[in-house]
């Protein structure tokens, strides 16, 4: 209906003018006595010229309809592209009006147009030589619009440091909006004649890298584990395709690693890079590792052994669960903890298993998952997909990173494991058992109240997340007093 309305006005005006041309003898008989033969002939010329121009107007409207897109949004949420490129549609409209003007000269004014066309050809040649660069940009723009190597909204990188989102493609140039909001206007001839990168085609997902330099004393496997866990915890990094870490070079200053990850929005490159680097710095600090520094001299020395005692104390001290413990108590618990390596894909704990210990993550990333209460699945409670997704019948609650802990409910109350905690990467955890904590609680029973409060908050959050994923109503708040009673009973306080 919209197309018919756009064409109805030119069609009605053209029909009226055609009727006036057909009635020319009748009009002459009635107009000449009133206005004279000269004005009567001028009226004929005006009507015929208007008929040709209105026909060109209708042709231009038809080109607009053919060039317009289908409307609405495509499957990827982006506006559907036009059927005919804008520059080509402009050329077609110019051609239609040019034909109308030549037709008026030839058929209305009865003037020879052959000489005019020849003279125009010479003038066009002179003008074309003077404007050859601009004309080259115009034809390059036409070629770009026909080939569609990029479209409005795509992110382009024309050269290192020169990138932006395509805002307009006109006759002469392409305009980009850079990440800082400034406009970059590039002639189409330069774009068509040089190499550029389109980060939005054929898929908006692309890979980028962050270089990290670490000392040679840090084992390669440990460095990869720490850097990979940082990327998996960074906001904006896609889990599929999976990020990875490769050794780029071995230099006198250390080993250069490339942290490679995928994202799907070039406009967020700086934000995601900031998130990745912040996670890398945090993970390295928790592991007691500093980025490599320039070496002033070369000397032979034994590989540095990680100070696990300091690492353990730091992990416990930054954990909210042990805020109420004094330094001596934290030191004693840290020395008692046992270091455990968990391979990627292996569960550190399984839902339903008995346990009397908690774990603090030193290196790596873990997914917390529970079995969905659905009769359609007969998978065991600990069944998980350890990498990029999850198996049917398993709910993903949260992702744990270095510095987080899990298993505190089993440590403090002796109840079975309430969830499976599966390593996404090769990981290192420290285990704190009941017999390590028992002497401290017997010496200071008041610590049990603080532990019960923290457990109640954590259990309420996990239960709320489980019910949210299942679409159930929010669960009642877990009472700390009930947990305190169970804790005292379990430890015999």
pLDDT of residue 244: 93
Where are the CATH 2.60.120.10 domain residues in the chain? 309-491
The CA angle 165-170-171, to the nearest 5 degrees, is 145
CB-facing half-sphere around the CA of 320: CA atoms within 13 A: 9
pLDDT at 238: 92
Alpha-carbon distance of 400 to 382, in angstroms, equals 17
Task: Give me the CATH code for the 309-491 domain, please.
Answer: 2.60.120.10
Instruction: Decide: helix, strand or coil at residue 209.
Output: strand
Distance of alpha carbon 317 from alpha carbon 491, whole angstroms: 23
CA 349 to centroid of chain Cα atoms: 33
In this prediction, residue 83 carries a pLDDT of: 57
pTM to 2 decimal places: 0.61
pLDDT value at residue 86: 65
The torsion angles phi and psi of 427, rounded to 5 degrees, stand at: -135, 160
- Looking at the chain, the domain(s) classified CATH 2.30.30.60 span 150-198
**HSE on the CB side for 140, CA within 13 Å?**
18
Alpha-carbon torsion 401, 403, 404, 408, what sign? positive
Q: Is 337 helix (H, G, I), strand (E, B) or coil?
A: coil
Give CA–CA dist 139/131, Å, rounded: 12
Would you write out the chain's pLDDT as a tens digit for each of its 493 residues? 566 677 787 788 878 877 877 777 776 666 666 666 666 667 777 878 888 888 888 888 887 777 665 544 555 555 555 556 566 677 777 888 888 888 888 777 777 767 666 666 655 665 555 556 666 777 777 777 777 888 888 999 888 778 899 998 877 788 999 888 899 998 888 888 888 899 988 888 999 999 999 998 899 999 999 999 999 989 999 988 999 999 999 988 899 999 999 999 998 999 999 999 999 999 998 888 888 887 765 555 544 445 677 888 888 888 877 877 888 888 888 888 889 999 999 999 999 888 888 899 999 999 988 887 654 444 443 333 444 445 557 788 888 988 888 888 888 888 888 889 999 989 999 998 888 888 888 888 777 777 777 777 777 776 676 666 666 655 555 566 777 777 777 777 6
Residue 273, pLDDT score: 94
If one looks up domain 150-198 in CATH, what number appears? 2.30.30.60
Q: 413: which residues sit within 8 A by CB, 6+ positions away? A: 455, 483, 486, 487, 490
Give me the CATH code for the 206-286 domain, please: 3.30.70.100
Cα 170 to the center of its chain, rounded Å:
28
Q: How far apart are CA 87 and CA 95, in angstroms?
A: 12
pLDDT given at position 40: 63
Cα torsion 470, 472, 477, 479: sign: negative
If we measure between CA atoms, which residue out of 466, 322, 315, 316 comes closest to residue 398?
A: 466
State the span(s) of the chain assigned CATH 3.30.70.100.
206-286
Residue 254's DSSP bridge partners are 251
Q: Which pLDDT belongs to residue 66?
A: 74
pLDDT the model gives residue 193: 81
Side-chain-side CA neighbours of residue 325 (13 Å): 23
């Amino acid at each position: 209906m919209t197309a018919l309305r756009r064409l109805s006005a030119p069609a009605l005006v053209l029909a009226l003018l055609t009727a006036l041309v057909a009635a020319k003898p009748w009009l002459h008989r009635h107009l000449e006595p009133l206005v004279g033969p000269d004005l009567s002939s001028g009226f004929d010329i005006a009507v015929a010229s208007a008929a040709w121009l209105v026909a060109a107007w209708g042709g231009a409207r038809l080109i607009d309809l053919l060039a317009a897109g289908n409307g609405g949004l495509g499957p990827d949420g982006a506006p559907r592209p036009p059927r005919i490129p804008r520059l080509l549609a402009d050329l077609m409209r110019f051609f239609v009006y040019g034909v109308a003007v030549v037709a008026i000269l030839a058929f209305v004014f009865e003037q020879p147009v052959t000489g005019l066309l020849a003279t125009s050809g010479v003038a066009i040649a002179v003008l074309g030589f003077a404007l050859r660069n601009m004309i080259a940009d115009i034809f390059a723009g036409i070629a770009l619009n026909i080939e569609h190597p990029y479209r409005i909204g795509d992110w382009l990188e024309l050269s290192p440091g020169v990138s932006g989102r395509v805002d307009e493609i006109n006759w002469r140039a392409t305009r980009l909006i850079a990440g800082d909001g400034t406009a970059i206007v590039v002639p189409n001839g330069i774009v068509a004649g040089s190499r550029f990168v389109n980060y939005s085609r054929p898929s908006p997902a692309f890979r980028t890298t962050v270089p990290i330099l670490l000392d040679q004393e840090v084992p390669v496997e440990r460095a990869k584990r720490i850097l990979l866990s940082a990327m998996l915890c960074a906001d904006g990094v896609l889990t599929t395709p999976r990020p990875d870490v490769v050794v780029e070079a071995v230099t006198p200053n250390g080993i250069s690693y490339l942290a490679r990850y995928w994202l799907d929005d070039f406009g967020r490159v700086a934000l995601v890079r900031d998130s990745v680097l912040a996670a890398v710095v945090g993970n390295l600090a928790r592991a007691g590792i500093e980025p490599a520094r320039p070496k002033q001299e070369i000397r032979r020395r034994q590989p540095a052994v990680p100070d696990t005692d300091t690492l353990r104390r730091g992990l416990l001290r930054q954990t909210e669960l042990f805020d109420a413990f004094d330094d001596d108590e934290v030191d004693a618990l840290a020395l008692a903890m046992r270091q455990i390596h968990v391979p990627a894909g292996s569960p550190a704990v399984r839902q339903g298993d008995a346990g009397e210990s908690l774990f603090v993550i030193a290196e790596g990333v873990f997914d917390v998952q529970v079995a969905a209460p659905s009769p359609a699945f007969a998978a065991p409670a600990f069944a998980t997909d350890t990498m990029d997704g999850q198996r049917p019948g398993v709910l993903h609650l949260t992702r744990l990173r270095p510095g987080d802990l899990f298993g505190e409910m089993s440590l403090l109350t002796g109840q079975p494991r309430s969830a499976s905690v599966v390593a996404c990467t090769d990981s290192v955890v420290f285990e704190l058992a009941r017999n390590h904590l028992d002497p401290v609680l017997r010496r200071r029973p008041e610590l049990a109240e603080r532990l019960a409060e923290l457990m109640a908050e954590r259990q309420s959050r996990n239960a709320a997340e489980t019910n949210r994923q299942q679409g159930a109503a929010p669960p009642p708040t877990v009472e700390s007093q009930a947990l305190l009673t169970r804790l005292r009973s379990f430890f015999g306080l």
